[in-house]
Amino acid sequence: MTNATLFYQLDTGTANNFFSGIWALTRCMKAAGWVYKGSSNGTSKDATGTASNDKWGGNASPLLDSYPTALSSVAAWWCASGPNVIKISITSAATGTFTRGESVTQTSSGATGELVGYVFDATNGGWVIIMPRTGTFDSTHVITGNSSGATVTSTGVKTYTQEVVFCKDTSVLNGNIYWIMADASAESSALFSTRVSVSAVTATVAPGQGGTSNTFPTQAICILGEGGVTSGPSTWASTGTATAHCLVSAVNATPGSGVSADGTAWVMFSDTSEVNLQSIVLGIFRLDDTEQGDVAPFEWLCPTGSSFASYNRTTNAGLGTTVPWGSFGISSTYVFQGYIARGVGSGAGTVPDVANYHKVIVLHDSVTGSPYHVSNTTSQVRVQNHPATTKPLTEETISLYNDSQTTTSALQQQLKGRIRWMRWCSIGNVFETTDNATWVCWLAQVTNTNPAVFIGPWDGATQPSS
């Protein structure tokens, strides 16, 4: 398992160079196993997909790359591929009961993976969701749960490929993030890596920014900015004053024997113009406990909208300020976005194959109205059944849901899943670490009516500061 973290000092050659933090994020992603697909430096583009040709830095160890200062004043882009998800179609119900999360092996092919989910309907058939580990699953042979002994026969295989594009304008404040999970076979033309080689993609025009064979894919999500045009970049983080450092982390994106890819990757900025040094976090997070048939168990954190009804797949404004607790947990400002459903279709009785915002689930005390994860007095919420004199803080992973009923009535209501590397605690200050520096606080607990939010994994050693 390969993780990468950076306590990165932002480039000082240009004031408030938030983009240099985005650049550092791409270095960590690449080091953690995201596969390089193409890039540009404002003068020329590389479409070879060869990591050493990366215009943003080609060292064998991406963490040794130095920030290319010339990128500060030019339009440029970078494209990479992350963890894949396998969808195995089935026409007959499984024999036995699979255990979610167990290892599975296919006969003949010998392919292995982690069973993420299983769904079946006697009338419409179903599918199995697998995070691949080794080998290549085929469309005919039996798949067996290594611990449960349950079996199911494959009748088809779809590999959902995940790709991201970061592109910037000529400033260090503005840019776009495009993301897609697409069937690598049937939807190959929608992949950003396919567009890297077309003539419309240039040193200054990124994949998905318009031109012949370079429209914004109908399956893609514009996480930040605007798709299909070069004139719609939004703020990466803030128009305020950046502190000296940012924190960057990326979790293993390469599967192997007994190991599934994760793909979580984030950058955390702080801004001296904001109270309490509240931080700005931008990134993609792996989810657990998603719907069993979900082929996209990932979610982007990027505070952009104000209501489910205002969601726009191709246009999302940038973040001009930090996110206080009110916006994160209890208001109509939605800070997460991803697919409600992907690869399901849009036939009668089905959930539309669409994206939207997801909102944080917050449980509240029925008497005081305070969030369940915080204290209603001056003490903290702690684990009581523990031998330590000072009990450890209670920790709880953060869950997401969608409550949009504006397009298809209740069909878009959804419990999306739990964020693997994000959790609540009743106390915490920005940059504070827990569990031997493996988690770091990005949203501070300000009063006893709101909790702190921690993200991970961190490097296990560094105590960050602004």
**In the Cβ-directed half-sphere of 11, how many Cα atoms lie within 13 Å?**
20
**What does the alpha-carbon distance between residue 17 and residue 35 come to, in Å, rounded to a whole number?**
26
pLDDT at 397 over 70: yes
Number of residues that make up the chain: 466
Burial level of 209, CB count in 10 A (0-12/13-18/19+)? buried
Strands (E), 251-331: 265-271, 279-288, 298-301, 315-316
**What does the alpha-carbon distance between residue 285 and residue 279 come to, in Å, rounded to a whole number?**
17
Tokens found for residue 199: 């003539």
pLDDT at 183 over 60: yes
CA angle 426/430/432 to nearest 5° reads: 75
**What does the alpha-carbon distance between residue 262 and residue 33 come to, in Å, rounded to a whole number?**
10
Residue whose C-alpha is closest to residue 336's, from 394, 402, 390: 402
Tokens found for residue 262: 């994760």
Helix/strand/coil for 226? strand
- pLDDT tens digits for range 193-238: 999 999 999 999 999 999 999 999 999 999 999 999 998 888 887 7
The pLDDT value given to residue 364: 79
The pLDDT value given to residue 233: 85
Contact residues for 217 (Cβ-Cβ < 8 A; gap 6+): 180, 182, 190, 191, 192, 208
Residue whose C-alpha is closest to residue 247's, from 55, 402, 464: 464
CA angle 280/288/125 to nearest 5° reads: 130
The pLDDT value given to residue 376: 66
Where do the structural domains in the chain lie, given as residue ranges? Answer: 4-80+165-271, 92-154
Bridge partners for 160 per DSSP: 85, 183
Bigger pLDDT: 431 vs 333: 431
Bigger pLDDT: 352 vs 248: 248
Query: What does the longest C-alpha to C-alpha distance in the chain come to?
Result: 67
Compute CA distances 32 → 54, 83, 98, 261, 323, whole Å: 16, 11, 30, 10, 27
**What does the alpha-carbon distance between residue 187 and residue 207 come to, in Å, rounded to a whole number?**
15
Contact criterion met (CB below 8 Å) for 272 and 398: no
- pLDDT tens digits for range 413-441: 889 999 999 999 888 888 899 989 999 99
Bigger pLDDT: 305 vs 62: 62
pTM for the predicted model, two decimal places: 0.95
Contact criterion met (CB below 8 Å) for 419 and 299: yes
- pLDDT tens digits for range 365-390: 777 777 878 766 667 888 999 999 98
The pLDDT value given to residue 348: 44
- Residue 256: pLDDT band (50, 70, 90) is very high
